[in-house]
Amino acid sequence: EVQLVESGGGLVQPGRSLKLSCAASGFTFSDYNMAWVRQAPTKGLEWVASISYGGSNTHYGDSVKGRFTISRDNAKSTLYLQMDSLRSEDTATYYCARHRSSYLDYFDYWGQGVMVTVSS
C-alpha cells in the first residue's frame, strides 16, 4: 500500500524558515517524480514544486520561486521542502504527492497533509 506521511509543520514567524519532510513507503520511491501541493484554509489547491525521480530536475510555482527548495533522499525514501522567507500567505496545509508517470503530470497518491501557519 502506497503511503506518504508528511511531518515538520507548525507555527512559524514571518521571515523565518521551516523544513517539511514526507516519508514514502509501499512503492519504489526512486522510480517516481514527486511534488508538494498546498491548500490555504478554505481555499483551493496550488501546486508548489516538483522534483524528478533522480533529483536532477526541479520546478517551482511562481509564488514560491526563489524562497522554497524541493529535494529528496532516495536512500531514505524521503521528500523534503525547505521553506525560507516565509510569508503569511504561505499559511496552508502542505501535501506531498506522487506524480503518476511523467515528470509534471497528474498526481495519483497524496499524503494526509501537514499544517503550516505563518504568523507573529
Partner 1 sequence: IQLTQSPSLLSASVGDRVTLSCKGSQNINNYLAWYQQKLGEAPKLLIYNTNSLQTGIPSRFSGSGSGTDYTLTISSLQPEDVATYFCYQYNNGLTFGSGTKLEIK
From the list 58, 56, 53, the residue with the least C-alpha distance to 74 is 53
Given the rule CB under 8 A, which residues bind partner 1?
44-47, 50, 61, 95, 100, 104-113
Shorter beta-carbon distance to partner 1: residue 85 or 112: 112
62 contact partners, CB below 8 Å, separation of at least 6 = none
Shorter beta-carbon distance to partner 1: residue 28 or 106: 106
User: To the nearest whole angstrom, how small is the minimum distance from the Cβ of residue 17 to partner 1?
Assistant: 25
User: To the nearest whole angstrom, how small is the minimum distance from the Cβ of residue 120 to partner 1?
Assistant: 27
Shorter beta-carbon distance to partner 1: residue 17 or 57: 57
Dmax (CA) of the chain:
40
From the list 50, 37, 9, 26, the residue with the least C-alpha distance to 96 is 37
